[in-house]
Structure 1
Amino acid sequence: MGEHNGSRATAVSRVPAAGEDVWELHRSLPHTLPADEILAVNKPKPDLHTHRTYTYNGWSFDLPPGVFMPGETSRMVHDRLLDGTIPVAGRSYAAMGAGLGVEAVVAGVREAREVYAMDVDPDSVRAAAEHYARIVGERPGTAFHPLVSDLFDGFPEGAQADVITFNPPAVRETVSDDPAVVRNVCVGIDIAVRFFDQIVRRDLLSADGEVYLIVSNTAEIRDIVRYAIESGFTPEVIHRQTWDTDNVQTCLFRLRRRVAA
């Protein structure tokens, strides 16, 4: 996920791209940081393989060993689901890389029509399902689907999502030999390429659907956005985050499929 766990964050105002050429937006993106800076800000925490707890919006989440603790980067998505900036009420929502299930819980509370909580890690999907059952429970009008899935491999054939969120583990440098860390942090650009390829090939996004993608300059941010544009998506930066303690810049993109002329 390339989580940033800095304690002091500086929010930068919304940067819309309406009417802006997509390549102008692309040129405005930061270059990927040098390897030493990427490694310095992605040091794995020593408690990953222990039981931990996490609190968000007054809700308590239990993290089994190997399930990642959300950081400031993930909370960029959580907060915008909660305040409605990422609108899910009455819509089909897919949380890619669901982790311990915060996004799924928020979407259930916000009355999404369907919630797909997808993760390649079975322990994460199990934790997400347990948290959803305890905090949201059975809610008329909302169907909850926990799926162990490598990206969209487990997503139902013929189904479409109105909203997809993803904080991909696209950090460019390998920051650990621990497979759990690699899976959650530093798979690299390939996971973003496969993500867009599957959406396009299987037509997984509804006509008015939106993808919300978090990428920082610890990943190959310019190449990822270039690939999205060349795959037929129009990106918009809806939030930029900088940090007081380093040179990381994180962007939350909203991407829509371009309509063929």
Structure 2
Amino acid sequence: MTSIRSGGPVLPGDARGWALHDRLPRTLTPDEIRAINNPSRAIHDHRSYTWNGWDFDLPPGVFHPGETSRLVHSRLLDGTLPVAGLRYAAMGAGLGVEAVVAGVHGAAAVYALDVHPESVRTTARHYARIVGSGGPPLYPLVADVWEGFPDGHQVDVVTFNPPAIELPLSDDPDIVRNLCVGRDIASRFFGQLVSRELLAPGGVVYLIVSNTAPLRDIVAIGLDAGFDAEVVHVEDWPGDDVQTYLFALRRPDVDR
């Protein structure tokens, strides 16, 4: 495991972001991606999940967190991704771990967005049980990326683990929804975020993506949308060539 921050010579923000882009690893080959990903049809079963001493119930269709998701959970928990006093959005809420951590850590408000209605209901149920009525308000939203997010609201922090693999790993729609939407979801995410001015001045998007997806192209979408990119963490997984990057993306033109 390696933890790094972007470095090198001091460059203007735009040039620095593109220099980072050019250093990112290329996407793995289709054969390598297929060998690493073996989607389980257990998503159609009723399952359970325990993390940080919290028990979560997973109805059919709700995604079970993998190692990449747990990277985000852990860095929210240890404060690497600060949310205290901030309006936080968990994009792709899943079973609700990110929302729960943000609630426990005193976010000003928590928005839990997912295209899957049962995931949104599950998140709300776990939030009510673990965080409780004394925590910050939760806004559980069934939304295709930002569609359905209320007009006039803004957030300060977003986490997003996009299902950006572009290979047809399965014909199961639940597996496709959770893994194989491709780079289009990043285009819609950043396009709607900017056009609707949903990110408050000084806000940050924490984006996690690996080279099993079109990593460089996804970062380029964020750069083209006017964001600077910085690496917060990179994870090298033992036994394969997967590299997973956690980025912080900010829009310098609205930071003032």
| TM-score, structure 2 as length reference | 0.95
Equivalent position amino acid for 1:62 in 2: D
Deviation of 1:14 after TM superposition, in Å, equals 2.1
* Equivalent position of 2:140 in the other structure: 146
Q: Is the 8 A contact 2:6 2:20 kept in 1?
A: no
1:128 aligns to 2:110 (yes or no): no
* Equivalent position of 1:7 in the other structure: none
* Equivalent position of 1:226 in the other structure: 220
Give the Cα–Cα distance (whole angstroms) in 1 for the partners of residues 18 and 56 of structure 2.
41
1:48-67 → structure 2 map (5 Å cutoff): 48-67=43-62
Match of 2:3 among 9, 13, 26: 13
Q: Secondary structure at the match of 2:44?
A: coil
Match of 1:237 among 220, 231, 238: 231
Q: Is the 8 A contact 2:92 2:113 kept in 1?
A: yes
Deviation of 1:166 after TM superposition, in Å, equals 0.5
Equivalent position amino acid for 1:69 in 2: H
Match of 1:181 among 175, 183, 199: 175
* Equivalent position of 2:211 in the other structure: 217
Q: Secondary structure at the match of 2:43?
A: coil
Deviation of 1:17 after TM superposition, in Å, equals 4.4
Give the Cα–Cα distance (whole angstroms) in 1 for the partners of residues 5 and 26 of structure 2.
18
1:6-155 → structure 2 map (5 Å cutoff): 11-17=1-7, 19=10, 21-139=16-134, 142-155=136-149
* Equivalent position of 1:5 in the other structure: none
Give the Cα–Cα distance (whole angstroms) in 1 for the partners of residues 96 and 7 of structure 2.
30
Equivalent position amino acid for 1:15 in 2: R
Give the Cα–Cα distance (whole angstroms) in 2 for the partners of residues 62 and 14 of structure 1.
35
Equivalent position amino acid for 1:73 in 2: T
RMSD of equivalent CA atoms = 1.3
Pairs aligned (count): 250
Q: Secondary structure at the match of 1:246?
A: coil
Question: Deviations 1:143-186 (Å, cap 9, x if unpaired)?
Answer: 11111111111111011100000000001211100000000000
Deviation of 1:187 after TM superposition, in Å, equals 0.3
Deviation of 1:22 after TM superposition, in Å, equals 1.5
- Gapped runs of 5+ residues in structure 2? none
* Equivalent position of 2:162 in the other structure: 168
* Equivalent position of 1:4 in the other structure: none
Give the Cα–Cα distance (whole angstroms) in 1 for the partners of residues 233 and 121 of structure 2.
31
Give the Cα–Cα distance (whole angstroms) in 2 for the partners of residues 214 and 254 of structure 1.
9
Q: Percent identity?
A: 60
Q: Secondary structure at the match of 1:118?
A: strand
Give the Cα–Cα distance (whole angstroms) in 2 for the partners of residues 36 and 158 of structure 1.
45
Report which of the two has the higher share of helix: 2
Q: Structure 1 stretches (4+) deviating beyond 3 angstroms?
A: 17-20
Give the Cα–Cα distance (whole angstroms) in 1 for the partners of residues 161 and 225 of structure 2.
19
Give the Cα–Cα distance (whole angstroms) in 2 for the partners of residues 245 and 172 of structure 1.
22
Q: Secondary structure at the match of 2:189?
A: helix
* Equivalent position of 2:202 in the other structure: 208
1:258 aligns to 2:252 (yes or no): yes
Give the Cα–Cα distance (whole angstroms) in 2 for the partners of residues 17 and 114 of structure 1.
33
Match of 2:150 among 141, 156, 160: 156
